[in-house]
Amino acid sequence: MKSSHRRVVVTSPFFDEEAHAYLKQHGCEVDIVQWQKGEGDGSLATPQLASLLQGASGWIVGQAYVTRELLTALPDLQVLARRGVGYDRVDVNAVRDLGRVLTIGAGGNDASVADHTIGLMLAVARRLRESQNRMLAGNWSILTSSDLSGKIVGIIGLGRIGKSLVQRLKGFEARILVCHPRPDREYGEANGITYVDMQTLLRQSDVVSVHAPLSPETRFLIDSAALALMKPTAILVNTARGGLVDDRDLLAALKTGRIAGAGLDVYVSEGDLAFKPVSDELVALPNVIATPHSAGSSVEALARTNMIAAKTVISVFDGEKLPEACVIADGRKPAAAG
């Protein structure tokens, strides 16, 4: 059944004109929240979000916390479209229970995050930050560094981004180890990867790259015990979710030389401000390359994920089938058989 009520509120930053035009072409009234630099919907409390979204039937979400209380206060809201792919800030059970739909931008930023991951690996291994800082201080002497080429790279979690990373690592002639709960043996054979358990991956890898989803089971998957298994020359990269790595333990490992370096795009402090001093210390270390959860925020990735979000909103309004990979929760009652 098509929906005639089509007010869409966009709280994601960097929402481009093409996606905006698509919504308008499909009969939507579109309200795009304009943020000051450094602001976003993740900083808004439930009452503020409820006020912004009153009367909206569609919401294109950035990093907001979506609670049962918020959804209950928005009876007109039919669909929440996450512009990214993570949804750990959304009460999925509440979405389903209250008859709403939650979608993600599956496939929109895989290539961009994989590119960024490679960039972090190279920047840490080649000591780019340290070299430039020395040059700025007037010291042009050469720091020896390490290649990525021919190294053993361990990938924890082999979803869309993990598989994109595999393709890029082939160009570096890397030996690829994977720890994944449901190994796809056919994919492994076709792409020259070896499935191993977590301990083997940590012990053997020169670079460990984390690509698992965040859940109660995976929180602090990389802790002091895991870091103790890694080579002292190894690098840890996390472009997945803050909370998969215990940043306190990582900070200690980096400061004591337990591992050689880290490339970080996500931090525990994104969800727990008590960890902000830890994040600040990590970012200040010379053997850390840090970015502000921006791996999926290339111009190209944002355009793709904006359009995916816009299209899923319209599909819900029009009662059309949604791409399976984009659907996280669908609480709509199935149409009665005629």
d(CA 54, CA 40): 18
Give the tokens for residue 98: 């209250």
Provide φ and ψ at 300, rounded to 5°: -70, -45
State yes or no: is 304 an active-site residue: no
- The residue annotated as part of the active site, out of 180, 241, 248, 300, is 241
Cβ burial, residue 82 (10 Å; 0-12/13-18/19+): buried
d(CA 200, CA 186): 21
Provide φ and ψ at 245, rounded to 5°: -115, 135
Residue with tokens 């929109």: 108
State yes or no: is 241 an active-site residue: yes
Give the tokens for residue 290: 């840090």
d(CA 289, CA 239): 12
d(CA 39, CA 60): 16
Comparing C-alpha atoms, which of 115, 112, 61 is closest to residue 328?
61
State yes or no: is 26 an active-site residue: no
Give the tokens for residue 200: 């083997």
Task: Tell me the sheet residues that pair with 177.
Answer: 154, 194
Cα dihedral sign for 55, 59, 64, 67? positive
In angstroms, the Cα distances linking 192 to 117, 172, 210, 237 are: 20, 13, 19, 21
- The residue annotated as part of the active site, out of 281, 293, 300, 332, is 293
- The residue annotated as part of the active site, out of 270, 281, 324, 332, is 270
- Contacts by 68-73, CB closer than 8 A, 24 or more apart: 68/93, 68/94, 68/97, 68/98, 70/46, 71/95, 71/98, 71/100, 72/98, 73/46
d(CA 48, CA 85): 24
Provide φ and ψ at 290, rounded to 5°: -125, 140
> Catalytic residue numbers?
241, 270, 293
